[in-house]
Homo-oligomer: A and B are copies of this chain.
Amino acid sequence: MLTDKKKAAQILLENDDFLILCHANPDGDTLGCGYGLCGILQKMGKRAKVLCADPVVSRMQYLKDSVVQQEFDEKTIVSVDVADTKLLGSLEELYADRILLAIDHHESRKEFAQYTFVDPDAAAACELIYEIALEMGAELDGRIASCLYTGIATDTGCFKFTNTTSRTHRIAGELMAYDFPHGEINYQLFDLKSKGRIELEQRILRDIEFAGDDRIAIVWLTLDIVNEFSDRVDTEDFNGLASLPRQIEGVVLGVTVKQKGENLFKVSMRSTEPINAAEVCGVFGGGGHARAAGCTIEGNLQFVRAKLLPVLEKAVEQI
């Protein structure tokens, strides 16, 4: 049942022994929500713990460290930033049908919880946790603020993306009134690069493919490259490359193709208005947002390239 933030706050206030579920392959928003909400509930004298199917990357370890690890039998299950129980990964089986409250900001989602509070206008689900906390009359502190700030910063590319709103900045301003090392956090999240990542960027920029009068740039992350770098870079580094080709002047459609198997390629697209990346990926059965989308294509490299290029070229022809 869809509900509002008032009811969401009431559910949190009236229950105890919380298990908070994050989505698998966790990002800053789901973890910021999870540990931020956990901190809020613990500070109110309730018991709360966070669970995620996958480990927290080292640069976000401070989120995990922001709360006390508590052991108890959960009575109330809440999911944060989860649009579909499939996204719970290995936790789906265990908890999918027992979720009391889902707090989320995804436009397209599958209902699964008894109560769902969803607001797609929020740039990050952490904005919603903050607003629910206000509604609950909860007291925040620097640790909780650092969690909620992290979710907002990561989901907006540090306030750079078009999803950033007046409300996003207003909430960030209220969170910054608490004491936490935002400069250090931003440096870890947005600037710091491993030497392996730098070498990887150098390597792929050297072999970048241009098409459609240089308005398309394609990065091919073949198995050879993935294997060459796998001991020096992590998944996050590989994923971070997706934004790279569109940053090149003149490029309106940036494409990163990562080979997942001999005959399996995962395509990530980033586009500039008016190119709709979700529509382009839709041709191959994929989808996503207008500016960022993805799809999977089966076949060998030559086949995938021959399939992909004409579709990309047609997309930029229209502008």
Contacts from A to B (Cβ < 8 Å) = 158-162, 164-170, 172-174, 176-177, 182-184, 186-187, 190-195, 198, 202, 205-206, 243, 246-250, 272-273
Cα A140 to Cα B166 with chains together (Å): 15
Cα A164 to Cα B205 with chains together (Å): 32
Q: Enumerate 18 A-B pairs (CB-CB under 8 Å) in ascending A order.
A: A159-B159, A159-B172, A160-B183, A160-B186, A160-B191, A162-B182, A165-B176, A167-B173, A168-B173, A169-B173, A172-B173, A193-B247, A194-B248, A195-B248, A195-B250, A198-B205, A202-B202, A202-B206
Collect the chain B residues with CB atoms within 8 Å of residue A165's CB. Answer: 176
Collect the chain B residues with CB atoms within 8 Å of residue A184's CB. Answer: 273
Given A192-B249, A249-B193, A176:B183 Cβ within 8 A? no
Cα A160 to Cα B189 with chains together (Å): 10
**Are the C-beta atoms of A160 and B158 separated by less than 8 Å?**
yes
**Are the C-beta atoms of A191 and B247 separated by less than 8 Å?**
yes
Cα A166 to Cα B162 with chains together (Å): 21
Collect the chain B residues with CB atoms within 8 Å of residue A198's CB. Answer: 205, 248
Collect the chain B residues with CB atoms within 8 Å of residue A187's CB. Answer: 160, 272
Main secondary structure of the interface of A (DSSP, over half): helix
Copies of the polypeptide in the assembly: 2
Collect the chain B residues with CB atoms within 8 Å of residue A166's CB. Answer: 173-174, 176-177
**Are the C-beta atoms of B202 and A183 separated by less than 8 Å?**
no
Collect the chain B residues with CB atoms within 8 Å of residue A193's CB. Answer: 247-249
Known: A158-B160, A169-B172, A195-B249. 17 other contacts (CB 8 A): A158-B159, A160-B190, A161-B183, A161-B186, A164-B176, A164-B182, A167-B173, A168-B173, A169-B169, A169-B170, A169-B176, A170-B170, A191-B246, A192-B249, A193-B247, A194-B248, A195-B248
Collect the chain B residues with CB atoms within 8 Å of residue A160's CB. Answer: 158, 183, 186-187, 190-191
Residue from B170, B247, B248 in contact with A173 in the complex, judged by beta carbons closer than 8 Å:
B170
Cα A9 to Cα B191 with chains together (Å): 38
- Minimal beta-carbon separation of A268 from chain B (angstroms): 16
